[in-house]
Amino acid sequence: MLARRVGLALAGLALVAGVTLAAGPRAGLLVGLGIGFGLVLEGLRFGFAGPWRMMIVERDARGLLAQLLAIAITAAVAFPLLAAAPGELQAAHAPVGLAMIGGAFVFGAAMQVVMGCGSGTLVNAGSGNLIGLVALVGFVAGSFLGTLHLGWWTGLGSLPVISAQSVAGAQGGLGLTLAALVLVAAFLAWRAAPGKRLPAARLWWAAGLIAALAVLNLIIAGQPWGIVYGLGLWGAKVAQAGGADLAANAFWAAPGNAARLDASILTDVTSLTNIGLLVGAFLVMRGRAVPGAPVTPLAARGWVGVLLAGLVLGYSARLAFGCNVGAFFSGISTGSLHGWVWFAAAFAGSAWGLKLRPLVLVPAVRQEGVAA
Protein backbone atom coordinates (compact mmCIF):
# COMPACT_ATOMS: atom_id res chain seq x y z
CA MET A 1 0.00 0.00 0.00
CA LEU A 2 2.84 2.39 0.87
CA ALA A 3 4.53 1.70 -2.47
CA ARG A 4 1.29 2.40 -4.27
CA ARG A 5 0.78 5.68 -2.41
CA VAL A 6 4.34 6.77 -3.19
CA GLY A 7 3.71 5.90 -6.81
CA LEU A 8 0.48 7.91 -6.83
CA ALA A 9 2.23 10.91 -5.23
CA LEU A 10 4.97 10.70 -7.87
CA ALA A 11 2.33 10.51 -10.61
CA GLY A 12 0.74 13.69 -9.26
CA LEU A 13 4.09 15.46 -9.14
CA ALA A 14 4.88 14.25 -12.66
CA LEU A 15 1.62 15.80 -13.89
CA VAL A 16 2.49 19.12 -12.26
CA ALA A 17 6.00 19.00 -13.77
CA GLY A 18 4.63 18.07 -17.20
CA VAL A 19 2.12 20.93 -17.22
CA THR A 20 4.82 23.33 -16.00
CA LEU A 21 7.06 22.33 -18.89
CA ALA A 22 4.22 22.52 -21.40
CA ALA A 23 2.46 25.67 -20.28
CA GLY A 24 4.61 27.48 -17.75
CA PRO A 25 4.96 27.71 -13.97
CA ARG A 26 1.58 29.32 -13.29
CA ALA A 27 -0.19 26.51 -15.12
CA GLY A 28 1.79 23.92 -13.19
CA LEU A 29 0.98 25.60 -9.89
CA LEU A 30 -2.72 25.73 -10.75
CA VAL A 31 -2.86 22.05 -11.63
CA GLY A 32 -1.06 21.34 -8.35
CA LEU A 33 -3.60 23.51 -6.56
CA GLY A 34 -6.42 21.61 -8.24
CA ILE A 35 -4.87 18.32 -7.09
CA GLY A 36 -4.80 19.78 -3.58
CA PHE A 37 -8.51 20.62 -3.80
CA GLY A 38 -9.22 17.07 -4.99
CA LEU A 39 -7.15 15.53 -2.18
CA VAL A 40 -8.94 17.56 0.48
CA LEU A 41 -12.47 17.25 -0.92
CA GLU A 42 -12.26 13.50 -1.50
CA GLY A 43 -9.77 12.62 1.23
CA LEU A 44 -11.56 14.47 4.03
CA ARG A 45 -15.06 13.96 2.59
CA PHE A 46 -15.71 17.68 2.42
CA GLY A 47 -18.51 18.45 0.00
CA PHE A 48 -21.28 20.89 -0.73
CA ALA A 49 -24.32 18.94 -1.94
CA GLY A 50 -24.15 16.26 0.77
CA PRO A 51 -24.09 18.63 3.77
CA TRP A 52 -26.97 20.64 2.31
CA ARG A 53 -28.96 17.41 2.01
CA MET A 54 -28.02 16.49 5.59
CA MET A 55 -29.26 19.87 6.82
CA ILE A 56 -32.56 19.60 4.97
CA VAL A 57 -33.28 15.94 5.70
CA GLU A 58 -31.68 15.34 9.10
CA ARG A 59 -31.17 18.86 10.47
CA ASP A 60 -27.47 18.03 10.60
CA ALA A 61 -25.68 21.39 10.29
CA ARG A 62 -22.10 20.18 10.77
CA GLY A 63 -21.00 20.04 7.12
CA LEU A 64 -22.70 23.30 6.22
CA LEU A 65 -21.16 25.08 9.22
CA ALA A 66 -17.75 23.86 8.05
CA GLN A 67 -18.47 25.38 4.61
CA LEU A 68 -19.31 28.72 6.21
CA LEU A 69 -16.11 28.54 8.28
CA ALA A 70 -14.05 27.94 5.13
CA ILE A 71 -15.74 30.90 3.44
CA ALA A 72 -15.11 33.13 6.47
CA ILE A 73 -11.39 32.25 6.62
CA THR A 74 -11.05 32.85 2.88
CA ALA A 75 -12.86 36.19 3.14
CA ALA A 76 -10.64 37.33 6.01
CA VAL A 77 -7.61 37.02 3.73
CA ALA A 78 -9.17 37.75 0.35
CA PHE A 79 -10.74 41.11 1.22
CA PRO A 80 -7.44 42.75 2.25
CA LEU A 81 -5.63 41.19 -0.71
CA LEU A 82 -8.21 42.46 -3.18
CA ALA A 83 -8.02 45.93 -1.63
CA ALA A 84 -4.23 45.93 -1.72
CA ALA A 85 -3.82 44.76 -5.31
CA PRO A 86 -6.88 45.82 -7.31
CA GLY A 87 -4.91 45.85 -10.55
CA GLU A 88 -3.64 42.31 -10.14
CA LEU A 89 -6.49 40.46 -8.42
CA GLN A 90 -10.18 40.37 -9.24
CA ALA A 91 -13.17 39.33 -7.14
CA ALA A 92 -16.03 37.00 -8.10
CA HIS A 93 -18.66 39.72 -8.38
CA ALA A 94 -21.75 39.30 -10.54
CA PRO A 95 -25.17 40.95 -10.76
CA VAL A 96 -28.28 39.62 -9.07
CA GLY A 97 -30.96 39.00 -11.66
CA LEU A 98 -34.06 36.99 -12.43
CA ALA A 99 -32.19 34.38 -14.48
CA MET A 100 -29.43 34.25 -11.88
CA ILE A 101 -31.94 33.46 -9.12
CA GLY A 102 -33.83 30.95 -11.23
CA GLY A 103 -30.57 29.35 -12.36
CA ALA A 104 -29.38 28.96 -8.78
CA PHE A 105 -32.70 27.39 -7.75
CA VAL A 106 -32.57 24.88 -10.61
CA PHE A 107 -28.89 24.20 -9.94
CA GLY A 108 -29.68 23.41 -6.30
CA ALA A 109 -32.33 20.93 -7.40
CA ALA A 110 -30.15 19.28 -10.06
CA MET A 111 -27.17 18.91 -7.75
CA GLN A 112 -29.28 16.88 -5.33
CA VAL A 113 -30.44 14.67 -8.19
CA VAL A 114 -26.90 13.80 -9.32
CA MET A 115 -25.53 14.04 -5.76
CA GLY A 116 -22.81 16.48 -6.73
CA CYS A 117 -22.34 20.19 -7.37
CA GLY A 118 -19.70 21.71 -9.68
CA SER A 119 -16.69 20.51 -7.72
CA GLY A 120 -18.60 17.45 -6.51
CA THR A 121 -19.25 16.22 -10.04
CA LEU A 122 -15.53 16.40 -10.84
CA VAL A 123 -14.59 14.75 -7.55
CA ASN A 124 -17.20 12.04 -8.00
CA ALA A 125 -16.02 11.28 -11.54
CA GLY A 126 -12.38 11.12 -10.45
CA SER A 127 -13.17 8.90 -7.50
CA GLY A 128 -14.86 6.35 -9.71
CA ASN A 129 -18.52 7.24 -9.28
CA LEU A 130 -20.22 6.45 -12.60
CA ILE A 131 -23.12 8.80 -11.87
CA GLY A 132 -20.56 11.60 -11.45
CA LEU A 133 -18.86 10.74 -14.73
CA VAL A 134 -22.12 10.66 -16.71
CA ALA A 135 -23.27 13.89 -15.04
CA LEU A 136 -19.92 15.51 -15.89
CA VAL A 137 -20.46 14.89 -19.60
CA GLY A 138 -23.88 16.54 -19.30
CA PHE A 139 -22.39 19.38 -17.24
CA VAL A 140 -19.84 20.17 -19.96
CA ALA A 141 -22.57 20.27 -22.62
CA GLY A 142 -24.95 22.25 -20.42
CA SER A 143 -22.49 24.90 -19.36
CA PHE A 144 -21.61 25.45 -23.04
CA LEU A 145 -25.27 25.64 -24.09
CA GLY A 146 -25.86 28.14 -21.29
CA THR A 147 -23.31 30.49 -22.81
CA LEU A 148 -25.28 30.52 -26.09
CA HIS A 149 -28.37 31.95 -24.41
CA LEU A 150 -26.80 33.92 -21.57
CA GLY A 151 -27.49 37.31 -23.14
CA TRP A 152 -31.20 36.54 -23.52
CA TRP A 153 -31.51 35.30 -19.96
CA THR A 154 -29.65 38.21 -18.40
CA GLY A 155 -31.82 40.54 -20.48
CA LEU A 156 -34.83 39.45 -18.43
CA GLY A 157 -33.69 41.85 -15.78
CA SER A 158 -30.88 42.28 -13.34
CA LEU A 159 -29.54 44.75 -10.82
CA PRO A 160 -26.14 46.39 -11.11
CA VAL A 161 -23.30 44.49 -9.45
CA ILE A 162 -23.59 45.02 -5.70
CA SER A 163 -20.79 43.99 -3.35
CA ALA A 164 -19.97 44.31 0.32
CA GLN A 165 -17.07 46.56 -0.72
CA SER A 166 -19.34 48.86 -2.71
CA VAL A 167 -21.66 49.19 0.29
CA ALA A 168 -19.18 49.54 3.14
CA GLY A 169 -15.64 49.67 1.73
CA ALA A 170 -13.00 46.96 2.06
CA GLN A 171 -12.80 46.80 5.85
CA GLY A 172 -16.48 47.44 6.44
CA GLY A 173 -17.37 44.97 3.71
CA LEU A 174 -15.32 42.27 5.38
CA GLY A 175 -17.05 43.06 8.66
CA LEU A 176 -20.45 42.85 6.96
CA THR A 177 -19.58 39.53 5.32
CA LEU A 178 -18.24 37.97 8.52
CA ALA A 179 -21.23 39.22 10.50
CA ALA A 180 -23.63 37.76 7.94
CA LEU A 181 -21.77 34.43 8.03
CA VAL A 182 -21.99 34.36 11.83
CA LEU A 183 -25.71 35.14 11.70
CA VAL A 184 -26.39 32.36 9.19
CA ALA A 185 -24.23 29.94 11.19
CA ALA A 186 -26.10 30.83 14.39
CA PHE A 187 -29.43 30.30 12.65
CA LEU A 188 -28.31 26.91 11.32
CA ALA A 189 -27.00 25.87 14.74
CA TRP A 190 -30.33 26.88 16.27
CA ARG A 191 -32.26 24.86 13.68
CA ALA A 192 -29.96 21.83 13.91
CA ALA A 193 -30.88 18.72 15.83
CA PRO A 194 -29.11 18.13 19.15
CA GLY A 195 -25.65 16.62 18.68
CA LYS A 196 -25.50 17.76 15.05
CA ARG A 197 -24.03 21.19 15.51
CA LEU A 198 -20.31 20.76 16.12
CA PRO A 199 -18.31 19.70 13.04
CA ALA A 200 -16.02 16.68 13.35
CA ALA A 201 -12.25 17.26 13.46
CA ARG A 202 -11.83 16.28 9.81
CA LEU A 203 -14.24 19.03 8.78
CA TRP A 204 -12.30 21.68 10.73
CA TRP A 205 -9.13 20.55 8.97
CA ALA A 206 -10.88 20.46 5.61
CA ALA A 207 -12.33 23.96 6.08
CA GLY A 208 -8.88 25.36 6.89
CA LEU A 209 -7.19 23.57 4.00
CA ILE A 210 -9.88 24.53 1.47
CA ALA A 211 -9.62 28.15 2.61
CA ALA A 212 -5.81 28.06 2.26
CA LEU A 213 -6.08 26.58 -1.23
CA ALA A 214 -8.74 29.13 -2.22
CA VAL A 215 -6.51 32.00 -1.09
CA LEU A 216 -3.59 30.50 -3.03
CA ASN A 217 -5.88 30.27 -6.06
CA LEU A 218 -6.51 34.00 -5.79
CA ILE A 219 -2.81 34.77 -5.38
CA ILE A 220 -1.65 32.55 -8.23
CA ALA A 221 -4.47 32.97 -10.74
CA GLY A 222 -5.44 36.52 -9.89
CA GLN A 223 -9.04 35.41 -9.50
CA PRO A 224 -11.05 33.28 -7.06
CA TRP A 225 -11.59 29.54 -7.41
CA GLY A 226 -14.10 28.63 -10.12
CA ILE A 227 -15.36 25.57 -11.97
CA VAL A 228 -18.03 26.34 -14.56
CA TYR A 229 -16.17 28.50 -17.07
CA GLY A 230 -13.60 25.78 -17.77
CA LEU A 231 -16.23 23.12 -18.37
CA GLY A 232 -18.15 25.42 -20.72
CA LEU A 233 -14.94 26.14 -22.60
CA TRP A 234 -14.34 22.42 -23.14
CA GLY A 235 -17.85 22.10 -24.52
CA ALA A 236 -17.35 25.10 -26.79
CA LYS A 237 -14.12 23.66 -28.18
CA VAL A 238 -15.83 20.36 -28.98
CA ALA A 239 -18.76 22.20 -30.58
CA GLN A 240 -16.42 24.37 -32.64
CA ALA A 241 -14.49 21.33 -33.81
CA GLY A 242 -17.83 19.81 -34.79
CA GLY A 243 -18.56 22.76 -37.08
CA ALA A 244 -20.41 25.18 -34.80
CA ASP A 245 -19.83 28.83 -35.74
CA LEU A 246 -19.37 30.57 -32.40
CA ALA A 247 -18.13 33.85 -33.87
CA ALA A 248 -21.73 35.06 -34.13
CA ASN A 249 -22.45 34.37 -30.48
CA ALA A 250 -22.05 37.37 -28.19
CA PHE A 251 -20.42 35.40 -25.38
CA TRP A 252 -17.81 33.65 -27.51
CA ALA A 253 -17.23 36.67 -29.74
CA ALA A 254 -16.03 38.68 -26.72
CA PRO A 255 -12.27 39.15 -27.19
CA GLY A 256 -11.16 37.25 -24.09
CA ASN A 257 -13.44 34.29 -24.71
CA ALA A 258 -12.60 34.17 -28.43
CA ALA A 259 -8.89 34.11 -27.59
CA ARG A 260 -9.37 31.25 -25.13
CA LEU A 261 -11.27 29.25 -27.74
CA ASP A 262 -8.21 29.37 -29.97
CA ALA A 263 -5.69 28.83 -27.19
CA SER A 264 -4.71 25.68 -25.34
CA ILE A 265 -6.88 24.49 -22.46
CA LEU A 266 -3.66 24.63 -20.46
CA THR A 267 -3.82 28.44 -20.55
CA ASP A 268 -7.28 28.58 -18.96
CA VAL A 269 -7.24 29.05 -15.20
CA THR A 270 -10.42 27.15 -14.30
CA SER A 271 -9.63 24.32 -16.73
CA LEU A 272 -6.30 23.78 -14.98
CA THR A 273 -7.78 23.56 -11.49
CA ASN A 274 -10.62 21.38 -12.81
CA ILE A 275 -8.09 18.95 -14.28
CA GLY A 276 -6.20 18.85 -11.00
CA LEU A 277 -9.39 18.40 -9.00
CA LEU A 278 -10.41 15.30 -10.91
CA VAL A 279 -6.90 13.86 -10.75
CA GLY A 280 -6.61 14.58 -7.02
CA ALA A 281 -9.85 12.71 -6.30
CA PHE A 282 -8.61 9.80 -8.40
CA LEU A 283 -5.34 9.68 -6.44
CA VAL A 284 -7.22 9.51 -3.12
CA MET A 285 -9.50 6.74 -4.38
CA ARG A 286 -6.55 4.67 -5.67
CA GLY A 287 -4.60 5.31 -2.47
CA ARG A 288 -7.28 3.76 -0.30
CA ALA A 289 -6.92 0.14 0.79
CA VAL A 290 -10.52 -0.36 -0.31
CA PRO A 291 -11.63 2.02 -3.07
CA GLY A 292 -15.26 1.95 -1.99
CA ALA A 293 -18.38 0.27 -3.28
CA PRO A 294 -19.30 0.91 -6.89
CA VAL A 295 -22.40 2.88 -7.69
CA THR A 296 -25.56 0.79 -7.87
CA PRO A 297 -26.44 0.34 -11.55
CA LEU A 298 -29.37 2.37 -12.78
CA ALA A 299 -32.08 1.53 -15.23
CA ALA A 300 -31.57 2.93 -18.75
CA ARG A 301 -33.95 5.79 -18.06
CA GLY A 302 -32.04 6.46 -14.86
CA TRP A 303 -28.80 6.99 -16.81
CA VAL A 304 -30.58 9.24 -19.30
CA GLY A 305 -31.97 11.16 -16.34
CA VAL A 306 -28.49 11.60 -14.85
CA LEU A 307 -27.15 12.86 -18.18
CA LEU A 308 -30.02 15.34 -18.50
CA ALA A 309 -29.66 16.42 -14.87
CA GLY A 310 -25.96 17.03 -15.54
CA LEU A 311 -26.90 19.11 -18.56
CA VAL A 312 -29.35 21.13 -16.47
CA LEU A 313 -26.68 21.50 -13.80
CA GLY A 314 -24.24 23.04 -16.28
CA TYR A 315 -26.84 25.22 -18.02
CA SER A 316 -28.25 26.60 -14.77
CA ALA A 317 -24.77 27.21 -13.34
CA ARG A 318 -23.98 29.38 -16.35
CA LEU A 319 -27.15 31.46 -15.85
CA ALA A 320 -26.50 31.70 -12.11
CA PHE A 321 -22.97 33.07 -12.63
CA GLY A 322 -21.37 30.07 -11.02
CA CYS A 323 -21.91 26.95 -8.97
CA ASN A 324 -21.27 26.22 -5.30
CA VAL A 325 -17.66 27.16 -5.88
CA GLY A 326 -17.73 30.18 -8.21
CA ALA A 327 -20.91 31.80 -6.83
CA PHE A 328 -21.45 30.52 -3.28
CA PHE A 329 -17.89 30.01 -2.02
CA SER A 330 -15.96 32.54 -4.09
CA GLY A 331 -18.81 35.03 -4.48
CA ILE A 332 -19.44 35.37 -0.75
CA SER A 333 -15.78 35.18 0.24
CA THR A 334 -14.96 38.10 -2.09
CA GLY A 335 -17.99 40.19 -1.19
CA SER A 336 -20.55 39.62 -3.96
CA LEU A 337 -24.22 39.99 -3.08
CA HIS A 338 -25.03 37.47 -5.78
CA GLY A 339 -23.24 34.80 -3.73
CA TRP A 340 -25.73 35.27 -0.88
CA VAL A 341 -28.74 35.30 -3.18
CA TRP A 342 -27.35 32.22 -4.92
CA PHE A 343 -27.08 30.47 -1.54
CA ALA A 344 -30.71 31.16 -0.64
CA ALA A 345 -32.08 30.18 -4.06
CA ALA A 346 -29.96 27.05 -4.43
CA PHE A 347 -30.79 25.90 -0.91
CA ALA A 348 -34.50 26.20 -1.69
CA GLY A 349 -33.91 24.31 -4.94
CA SER A 350 -32.06 21.58 -3.06
CA ALA A 351 -35.12 20.84 -0.95
CA TRP A 352 -37.12 20.39 -4.15
CA GLY A 353 -34.38 18.34 -5.84
CA LEU A 354 -34.35 15.83 -3.01
CA LYS A 355 -37.94 14.96 -3.89
CA LEU A 356 -36.98 14.49 -7.53
CA ARG A 357 -34.02 12.26 -6.84
CA PRO A 358 -35.85 8.93 -6.45
CA LEU A 359 -37.79 9.66 -9.63
CA VAL A 360 -34.55 10.03 -11.62
CA LEU A 361 -32.14 7.60 -9.99
CA VAL A 362 -34.13 4.49 -10.76
CA PRO A 363 -32.10 1.40 -9.87
CA ALA A 364 -31.86 -1.27 -12.56
CA VAL A 365 -33.20 -3.94 -10.21
CA ARG A 366 -36.28 -1.94 -9.26
CA GLN A 367 -37.19 -1.27 -12.87
CA GLU A 368 -36.87 -4.95 -13.69
CA GLY A 369 -39.13 -5.67 -10.74
CA VAL A 370 -41.70 -3.19 -11.98
CA ALA A 371 -41.54 -4.57 -15.51
CA ALA A 372 -42.05 -8.06 -14.17
Per-residue binding letters, 8-37, with another protein (x by CB under 8 A): --------------xxxxxx-x--------
Cα-Cα-Cα-Cα dihedral of 116, 139, 298, 129, to 10°? -50
CB atoms near residue 186 (< 10 Å): 11
Q: Name the segment binding another protein (CB under 8 A); options: 68-76, 108-116, 167-175, 274-282.
A: 274-282
The least distance separating another protein from the CB of residue 91, rounded to whole angstroms, comes to 8
The least distance separating another protein from the CB of residue 245, rounded to whole angstroms, comes to 16
Cα-Cα-Cα-Cα dihedral of 108, 112, 115, 117, to 10°? 0
* End-to-end CA gap in the chain: 45
Residues in 336-365 that interact with another protein by CB under 8 A = 336, 338, 364-365
Per-residue binding letters, 180-219, with another protein (x by CB under 8 A): --------------------------------------xx
Beta carbon nearer to another protein, 20 or 354: 20
Q: Does 87 bind another protein (CB under 8 A)?
A: yes
Q: Does 128 bind another protein (CB under 8 A)?
A: yes
Q: Does 64 bind another protein (CB under 8 A)?
A: no
Q: Does 96 bind another protein (CB under 8 A)?
A: no
The least distance separating another protein from the CB of residue 73, rounded to whole angstroms, comes to 18
Q: Does 265 bind another protein (CB under 8 A)?
A: yes
Per-residue binding letters, 296-335, with another protein (x by CB under 8 A): xxx-x--x-------------xx--xxx-xxx--xx----
Beta carbon nearer to another protein, 182 or 365: 365
The least distance separating another protein from the CB of residue 51, rounded to whole angstroms, comes to 21
Q: Name the segment binding another protein (CB under 8 A); options: 101-109, 187-195, 198-206, 222-230.
A: 222-230
Task: Give CA–CA dist 135/120, Å, rounded.
Answer: 10
Task: Give CA–CA dist 282/215, Å, rounded.
Answer: 23
For 100, how many CA atoms within 13 A lie in the half-sphere containing its CB? 26
For 152, how many CA atoms within 13 A lie in the half-sphere containing its CB? 6
What's 123-167 look like in SS3?
HHHHCCCHHHHHHHHHHHHHHHHHHHHHHHHHCCCECCCCEHHHH
Give the helix/strand (H/E) hosting 113.
Answer: helix 98-114
Task: Give CA–CA dist 325/121, Å, rounded.
Answer: 12
Task: Give CA–CA dist 178/69, Å, rounded.
Answer: 10
Q: Residue from 78, 150, 162, 184 that binds another protein (CB under 8 A)?
A: 150
Q: Does 166 bind another protein (CB under 8 A)?
A: no
Q: Does 170 bind another protein (CB under 8 A)?
A: no
Beta carbon nearer to another protein, 130 or 354: 130
Q: Does 220 bind another protein (CB under 8 A)?
A: yes
Please list the alpha-helical segments (H only) found in 192-225: 201-221
How many residues bind another protein, per CB under 8 A?
86
- Residue 298, strand partner residues: 363
Q: Does 90 bind another protein (CB under 8 A)?
A: yes
Task: Give CA–CA dist 42/168, Å, rounded.
Answer: 37
Q: Does 92 bind another protein (CB under 8 A)?
A: yes
